[in-house]
Protein backbone atom coordinates (compact mmCIF):
# COMPACT_ATOMS: atom_id res chain seq x y z
CA UNK A 1 0.00 0.00 0.00
CA UNK A 2 1.27 3.46 -0.90
CA UNK A 3 1.87 6.17 1.66
CA UNK A 4 -1.19 8.23 2.56
CA UNK A 5 -0.49 11.88 3.37
CA UNK A 6 -2.53 14.14 5.65
CA UNK A 7 -2.24 17.80 6.60
CA UNK A 8 -4.58 17.95 9.59
CA UNK A 9 -6.24 20.98 11.11
CA UNK A 10 -5.11 21.23 14.72
CA UNK A 11 -7.48 21.71 17.67
CA UNK A 12 -7.02 24.44 20.26
CA UNK A 13 -3.92 24.23 22.43
CA UNK A 14 -4.25 22.04 25.51
CA UNK A 15 -2.81 24.33 28.16
CA UNK A 16 -2.47 21.59 30.75
CA UNK A 17 -0.32 19.53 28.41
CA UNK A 18 1.90 22.49 27.52
CA UNK A 19 2.50 23.14 31.21
CA UNK A 20 3.25 19.45 31.78
CA UNK A 21 5.90 19.49 29.05
CA UNK A 22 7.25 22.76 30.46
CA UNK A 23 7.77 21.03 33.82
CA UNK A 24 5.18 23.16 35.64
CA UNK A 25 3.66 21.39 38.63
CA UNK A 26 0.74 22.64 40.67
CA UNK A 27 -0.72 26.14 40.45
CA UNK A 28 0.59 28.34 37.64
CA UNK A 29 1.39 31.97 38.32
CA UNK A 30 0.29 34.84 36.10
CA UNK A 31 3.75 35.32 34.59
CA UNK A 32 3.95 31.68 33.46
CA UNK A 33 0.43 31.90 32.00
CA UNK A 34 1.37 35.01 30.02
CA UNK A 35 4.55 33.32 28.80
CA UNK A 36 2.52 30.41 27.45
CA UNK A 37 0.12 32.79 25.71
CA UNK A 38 3.08 34.53 24.10
CA UNK A 39 4.43 31.18 22.92
CA UNK A 40 1.06 30.30 21.39
CA UNK A 41 0.96 33.63 19.54
CA UNK A 42 4.56 33.20 18.36
CA UNK A 43 3.76 29.78 16.90
CA UNK A 44 0.54 30.65 15.09
CA UNK A 45 2.00 30.88 11.57
CA UNK A 46 4.92 28.52 12.22
CA UNK A 47 3.15 25.15 12.13
CA UNK A 48 2.89 22.93 9.05
CA UNK A 49 1.44 19.67 10.40
CA UNK A 50 2.04 16.64 8.21
CA UNK A 51 1.28 12.93 8.59
CA UNK A 52 2.32 10.06 6.35
CA UNK A 53 1.07 6.56 7.07
CA UNK A 54 0.61 3.05 5.74
CA UNK A 55 -2.14 0.69 6.86
CA UNK A 56 -0.94 -2.90 6.68
CA UNK A 57 -1.79 -6.43 7.88
CA UNK A 58 -0.27 -7.32 11.24
CA UNK A 59 1.11 -10.63 12.50
CA UNK A 60 2.00 -10.84 16.19
CA UNK A 61 4.45 -13.33 17.70
CA UNK A 62 5.87 -13.62 21.20
CA UNK A 63 8.90 -11.43 20.56
CA UNK A 64 8.23 -9.62 17.28
CA UNK A 65 5.59 -8.12 15.03
CA UNK A 66 5.47 -8.37 11.23
CA UNK A 67 3.83 -5.70 9.08
CA UNK A 68 4.11 -6.32 5.34
CA UNK A 69 7.90 -6.49 5.24
CA UNK A 70 8.53 -4.41 8.36
CA UNK A 71 9.64 -6.77 11.14
CA UNK A 72 10.19 -5.26 14.60
CA UNK A 73 11.69 -7.32 17.40
CA UNK A 74 10.06 -6.29 20.67
CA UNK A 75 8.20 -8.24 23.33
CA UNK A 76 6.72 -5.00 24.65
CA UNK A 77 5.24 -4.07 21.27
CA UNK A 78 4.01 -7.63 20.72
CA UNK A 79 2.14 -7.53 24.03
CA UNK A 80 0.79 -4.06 23.27
CA UNK A 81 -0.76 -5.03 19.91
CA UNK A 82 -1.93 -8.51 20.88
CA UNK A 83 -5.38 -9.01 19.44
CA UNK A 84 -4.82 -6.57 16.57
CA UNK A 85 -5.38 -7.62 12.96
CA UNK A 86 -3.90 -4.56 11.25
CA UNK A 87 -1.54 -1.71 12.05
CA UNK A 88 -1.01 1.85 10.96
CA UNK A 89 2.68 2.77 10.75
CA UNK A 90 3.12 6.53 10.59
CA UNK A 91 5.39 9.53 10.80
CA UNK A 92 4.25 13.02 11.75
CA UNK A 93 5.89 16.44 11.88
CA UNK A 94 5.20 20.11 12.58
CA UNK A 95 7.63 21.42 9.95
CA UNK A 96 10.92 23.31 10.22
CA UNK A 97 9.69 26.83 10.95
CA UNK A 98 8.89 26.05 14.57
CA UNK A 99 12.43 24.72 15.04
CA UNK A 100 13.78 28.01 13.67
CA UNK A 101 11.67 30.03 16.09
CA UNK A 102 12.60 27.90 19.09
CA UNK A 103 16.29 28.45 18.33
CA UNK A 104 15.81 32.16 17.71
CA UNK A 105 13.79 32.79 20.85
CA UNK A 106 16.13 30.65 22.96
CA UNK A 107 18.80 33.26 22.24
CA UNK A 108 16.56 36.29 22.76
CA UNK A 109 14.48 35.00 25.67
CA UNK A 110 15.42 31.63 27.13
CA UNK A 111 12.14 31.26 29.03
CA UNK A 112 10.12 31.86 25.87
CA UNK A 113 12.29 29.39 23.98
CA UNK A 114 11.62 26.73 26.61
CA UNK A 115 7.88 27.40 26.51
CA UNK A 116 7.86 27.23 22.71
CA UNK A 117 9.60 23.88 22.95
CA UNK A 118 6.93 22.64 25.37
CA UNK A 119 4.22 23.96 23.06
CA UNK A 120 5.78 22.07 20.16
CA UNK A 121 5.67 18.85 22.19
CA UNK A 122 1.95 19.37 22.85
CA UNK A 123 1.25 20.28 19.20
CA UNK A 124 2.97 17.21 17.71
CA UNK A 125 0.99 14.98 20.08
CA UNK A 126 -2.16 16.76 18.89
CA UNK A 127 -1.16 15.93 15.30
CA UNK A 128 -0.87 12.25 16.22
CA UNK A 129 -4.22 12.43 18.01
CA UNK A 130 -5.80 13.73 14.80
CA UNK A 131 -4.72 10.59 12.97
CA UNK A 132 -6.22 8.40 15.68
CA UNK A 133 -9.46 10.39 15.55
CA UNK A 134 -9.62 9.96 11.78
CA UNK A 135 -9.19 6.20 12.14
CA UNK A 136 -11.83 5.98 14.86
CA UNK A 137 -14.12 8.03 12.66
CA UNK A 138 -14.00 5.16 10.16
CA UNK A 139 -15.11 2.74 12.85
CA UNK A 140 -11.70 1.33 13.76
CA UNK A 141 -10.99 0.20 17.31
CA UNK A 142 -7.45 1.10 18.31
CA UNK A 143 -4.79 0.49 20.89
CA UNK A 144 -2.67 3.52 21.72
CA UNK A 145 0.31 4.40 19.57
CA UNK A 146 3.69 2.88 20.38
CA UNK A 147 6.96 4.56 19.36
CA UNK A 148 10.62 3.55 19.16
CA UNK A 149 12.09 3.95 22.63
CA UNK A 150 9.02 2.60 24.42
CA UNK A 151 9.57 -0.62 26.34
CA UNK A 152 12.20 -2.76 24.63
CA UNK A 153 11.61 -1.33 21.14
CA UNK A 154 15.01 0.26 20.37
CA UNK A 155 15.48 3.73 18.93
CA UNK A 156 17.33 2.13 16.04
CA UNK A 157 13.88 1.04 14.84
CA UNK A 158 13.55 4.59 13.50
CA UNK A 159 15.70 3.57 10.52
CA UNK A 160 13.37 0.68 9.68
CA UNK A 161 10.25 2.84 9.92
CA UNK A 162 11.79 5.63 7.85
CA UNK A 163 12.70 3.12 5.14
CA UNK A 164 9.27 1.46 5.30
CA UNK A 165 7.46 4.78 4.89
CA UNK A 166 10.08 6.34 2.59
CA UNK A 167 9.84 9.46 4.76
CA UNK A 168 12.72 11.30 3.13
CA UNK A 169 11.18 10.80 -0.31
CA UNK A 170 7.56 11.68 0.39
CA UNK A 171 7.69 13.83 3.53
CA UNK A 172 9.68 16.74 4.94
CA UNK A 173 11.29 14.62 7.67
CA UNK A 174 14.90 13.46 7.83
CA UNK A 175 16.78 11.11 10.14
CA UNK A 176 20.34 11.85 11.22
CA UNK A 177 23.05 9.26 11.85
CA UNK A 178 22.48 9.76 15.58
CA UNK A 179 18.76 8.91 15.10
CA UNK A 180 17.57 12.46 15.65
CA UNK A 181 14.60 13.49 13.53
CA UNK A 182 14.58 16.79 11.67
CA UNK A 183 12.32 18.72 12.27
CA UNK A 184 12.77 18.01 15.96
CA UNK A 185 9.01 18.01 16.57
CA UNK A 186 8.45 14.77 14.70
CA UNK A 187 7.14 11.37 15.73
CA UNK A 188 7.11 7.85 14.34
CA UNK A 189 4.81 5.22 15.80
CA UNK A 190 2.68 2.13 15.30
CA UNK A 191 -1.05 2.03 16.04
CA UNK A 192 -2.66 -1.37 16.38
CA UNK A 193 -6.15 -1.89 14.92
CA UNK A 194 -8.16 -4.46 16.83
CA UNK A 195 -10.22 -7.32 15.50
CA UNK A 196 -13.61 -8.19 16.95
CA UNK A 197 -12.15 -8.92 20.38
CA UNK A 198 -9.62 -7.02 22.42
CA UNK A 199 -9.59 -3.91 24.55
CA UNK A 200 -8.99 -0.41 23.26
CA UNK A 201 -6.47 1.76 25.10
CA UNK A 202 -5.80 5.47 25.50
CA UNK A 203 -2.62 7.49 25.06
CA UNK A 204 -1.82 7.22 28.76
CA UNK A 205 -1.24 3.49 28.35
CA UNK A 206 1.86 4.25 26.29
CA UNK A 207 3.40 5.73 29.43
CA UNK A 208 2.58 2.55 31.30
CA UNK A 209 4.24 0.52 28.54
CA UNK A 210 7.42 2.58 28.71
CA UNK A 211 10.19 1.46 31.07
CA UNK A 212 11.31 5.02 31.88
CA UNK A 213 9.45 5.13 35.17
CA UNK A 214 11.18 8.34 36.28
CA UNK A 215 10.44 10.24 33.04
CA UNK A 216 9.62 13.89 33.75
CA UNK A 217 6.92 13.82 31.07
CA UNK A 218 4.98 10.82 32.37
CA UNK A 219 1.31 11.75 32.24
CA UNK A 220 -0.14 13.26 35.41
CA UNK A 221 -2.50 16.06 36.35
CA UNK A 222 -1.21 19.62 36.26
CA UNK A 223 -2.95 22.96 36.49
CA UNK A 224 -2.76 25.44 33.64
CA UNK A 225 -4.82 28.19 35.23
As a whole number, mean pLDDT of residues 73-84 equals: 96
Instruction: Look at residue 25 in the predicted model and tell me its pLDDT.
Output: 86
User: Which residues pair with residue 4 across a beta bridge?
Assistant: 53
The 10s digit of each residue's pLDDT in 33-64 is 999 999 999 999 999 999 999 999 999 999 99
Q: How many residues does the chain have?
A: 225
- For Cα atoms 204, 208, 115, give the angle at the middle one, nearest 5 degrees: 55
pLDDT tops 70 at residue 164: yes
- Domain 4-209: give its CATH code: 3.40.109.40
The 10s digit of each residue's pLDDT in 124-162 is 999 999 999 999 999 999 999 999 999 999 999 999 999
Buried b (16+ CB within 10 A) or exposed e, 196-217: eebeebeeebbbebbeeeeeee
Contacts of 175 (CB under 8 A, 6+ apart): 158, 159, 162, 167, 168, 181, 182
Q: Which residue ranges make up each domain of the chain? A: 4-209
pLDDT confidence tier of residue 199, bands split at 50, 70 and 90: low
Burial class (CB in 10 A: 0-12, 13-18, 19+), 34: exposed
Nearest one of 202, 58, 72 to 136, comparing CA atoms: 202
d(CA 117, CA 165): 26
pLDDT confidence tier of residue 207, bands split at 50, 70 and 90: low
Question: Is the pTM here over 0.85, yes or no?
Answer: yes
Amino acid sequence: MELTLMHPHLPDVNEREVMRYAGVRGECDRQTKLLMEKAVACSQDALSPEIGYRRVPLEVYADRVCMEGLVLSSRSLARHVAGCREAVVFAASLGMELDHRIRRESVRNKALGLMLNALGAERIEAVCDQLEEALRGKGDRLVSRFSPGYGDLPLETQRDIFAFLQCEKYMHIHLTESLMMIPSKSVTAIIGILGEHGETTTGASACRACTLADCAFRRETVCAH
